[in-house]
Amino acid sequence: MLSENFSLQTLNTFGMNVHARYFASFQNIDTLRYLLKQSTCKEYPLLILGGGSNVLFTSDFQGVVLKNEINGIQLESEDDQFYYVRAGAGVVWHELVMKTLSLGYFGLENMALIPGSVGAAPMQNIGAYGVELKDVFESLEAVRISDGEIVVFSKDQCAFGYRESVFKNTCKGQYVIVSVLFRLNKKQVLKTHYGNIEAELSGMPESDRNPIAVARAVMRIRTSKLPDPALIGNAGSFFKNPEISLAEYERLKLQYPELVAYPVGNDKMKLAAGWLIEKAGWKGVKRGNAACHDKQALVLVNLGDASGIEIFALSEEIIESVHQKFGVYLHREVNIF
Ligand code: FAD
Ligand code: NAP
């Protein structure tokens, strides 16, 4: 069941030409449990792969890659306000967004066109245009790698933060997420204040404004700004937006009055990392085929046959240069292997 020396080139959106020492895919929990019991899976490092849109391989993976292909979307229950919808971890995220909208279940529209799988969404509490996974999340089921038991995680237990969850921290490498239960609204509550959504919808009669129109607006904005991984290798934002103290923000704002920042609670500010990188002079810069995207500096791209090491080296240069200029340290969002 395990293939050896398996090419991952089409399974990561950076298009890195690397191989897994061992590889298998699973379409249900029984197969996953069977695989986890194999001695190879116990002896070698494991990597659970979804759509490969948030990973950078810097070399061949000297372990076992297990690709999640658990499908299925079902309405589990409903109450006065919400539909509770369960999706298999292998469902393509954008397909879930469009399917639920077509059924009149609302809440995922601002997260249209985020690449990847449902199972990876809780890993970094995916988010876009003012909505995060945690806003529509009820619970998830995960298989514990050590003994194959199914464990249910509530929202609190997931400890979601900005591009963070328990699965990137204390539970790192211990669970395979197999399904997610979403709490989707029966009522339409449009969130259009973020980015250019309002501008995209301008001129549209009030009666035509609905979650599907918002999803379409988000899709148009994203398509105009972000490189399509099918054409240019990338993993979306390479870095997180840094959060800094108010005092640090005041210091920077004096020096750079045009600084782009947003409040986080009462005591922190979130800086737009793309702005910092652009102002440090990196937008469009190429190092061979590794480059900082010319429309959105937060995205690093593979223009051809760049290696993971070259992309990583470019990210090091950017971190160093932004730190020198602004005194702010950027952290990578993409998972490096
Ligand atoms: P993968 O890349 O396959 O895996 C990512 C990590 O999760 C790995 O560490 C992997 O081991 C782990 N993992 C995956 N599945 C499971 C599972 N079932 N159980 C346990 N661990 C698992 N992200 C955002 O938050 N917002 C955006 O707007 C956004 N836009 C993007 C735009 C582009 C063009 C691209 C290329 C990426 C973008 N991303 C965005 C990043 C990415 O799409 C998300 O992080 C997505 O959730 C990754 O899903 P995936 O299935 O591809 O995960
Ligand atoms: P943008 O609209 O140019 O905005 C730049 C940054 O400012 C974003 O990162 C966003 O932070 C923040 N921002 C903008 N308006 C805000 C507001 N009203 N309140 C608080 N923060 C605000 O960003 P973009 O690059 O085109 O991306 C648009 C959305 O898609 C963002 O939400 C972004 O996170 C998401 N996206 C994510 C990835 C990824 O790989 N993670 C890739 C592409 C796009 P936030 O990032 O915190 O929202």
Structural domain boundaries of the chain? 3-68, 73-185, 233-336
The pLDDT value given to residue 1: 84
Residue 132 near residue 125 (C-beta atoms within 8 A): yes
Q: Do domains 3-68 and 233-336 have the same CATH topology?
A: no
Determine if ligand 2 sits within 6 Å of the CB of residue 219. no
| CATH code at 73-185 | 3.30.465.10
**Tens digit of each residue's pLDDT, the chain (337 residues):** 899 999 999 999 999 999 999 999 999 999 999 999 999 999 999 999 999 999 999 999 999 999 999 999 999 999 999 999 999 999 999 999 999 999 999 999 999 999 999 999 999 999 999 999 999 999 999 999 999 999 999 999 999 999 999 999 999 999 999 999 999 999 999 999 998 999 999 989 989 999 999 999 999 999 999 999 999 999 999 999 999 999 999 999 999 999 999 999 999 999 999 999 999 999 999 999 999 999 999 999 999 999 999 999 999 999 999 999 999 999 999 999 9
Determine if ligand 2 sits within 6 Å of the CB of residue 194. yes
Kindly give the distance from the C-alpha atom of residue 129 to the centroid of ligand 2, in angstroms, as a whole number: 6
The answer for residues whose C-beta is within 8 angstroms of residue 151's C-beta and 6 or more apart is 141, 142, 143, 144, 175
The pLDDT value given to residue 43: 97
Separation CA 211–CA 110 (nearest Å): 8
Determine if ligand 2 sits within 6 Å of the CB of residue 113. no
> Topology of 3-68 in CATH?
3.30.43
Give the tokens for residue 23.
Answer: 């590889």
The model's pTM = 0.96
Kindly give the distance from the C-alpha atom of residue 194 to the centroid of ligand 2, in angstroms, as a whole number: 8
The pLDDT value given to residue 49: 98
| Start-to-end Cα distance in the chain | 23
> Topology of 233-336 in CATH?
3.90.78
Angle at 188 between CA 184 and CA 189, to 5 degrees: 90
Q: Nearest C-alpha to atom 3 of ligand 2 is from which residue? A: 195
